């Protein structure tokens, strides 16, 4: 790893450790929105709203429903794409 990579990794670890409780709480909040297969629109809306609240731009939901958003950084750099499933494999009434 380069020195820059090490510095970035250190910054990410520090941020993660400082915000761990919030990160866990947000993950729980997302999981509490029922999203059985082909019925994940409510969760997509939740994720889109949270992205907007965090300052993301061009937030949209397509017909699938996939959530798209753009986050602009102050410094130029490579593009990062994050993908994840919104739906779950269990019924909506499952207590998570």
Full pLDDT tens readout for the chain, 96 residues: 677 789 889 999 999 999 999 999 999 999 999 999 999 999 999 999 999 999 999 999 999 999 999 998 888 877 888 899 999 988 888 887
Give the pLDDT of residue 77.
Answer: 78
Whether residue 57 contacts residue 70, with contact meaning beta carbons closer than 8 Å, is answered with yes
Give the pLDDT of residue 27.
Answer: 95
pTM, entire model: 0.83
Whether residue 67 contacts residue 48, with contact meaning beta carbons closer than 8 Å, is answered with yes
Give strand ranges (E) for the chain.
Answer: 57-61, 67-70
User: How far is the C-alpha of 23 from the C-alpha of 39, rounded, in Å?
Assistant: 25
């Amino acid at each position: 790893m380069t020195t820059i990579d090490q510095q970035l990794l250190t910054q990410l670890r520090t941020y993660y450790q400082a915000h761990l409780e919030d990160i866990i709480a947000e993950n729980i909040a997302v999981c509490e929105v029922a999203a059985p297969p082909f019925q994940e629109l409510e969760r997509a809306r939740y994720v889109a709203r949270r992205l907007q609240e965090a300052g993301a731009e061009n937030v949209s939901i397509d017909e699938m429903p996939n959530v798209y958003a753009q986050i602009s950084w102050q410094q130029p750099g490579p593009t990062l794409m994050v993908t994840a499933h919104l739906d779950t494999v269990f019924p909506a009434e499952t207590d998570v």
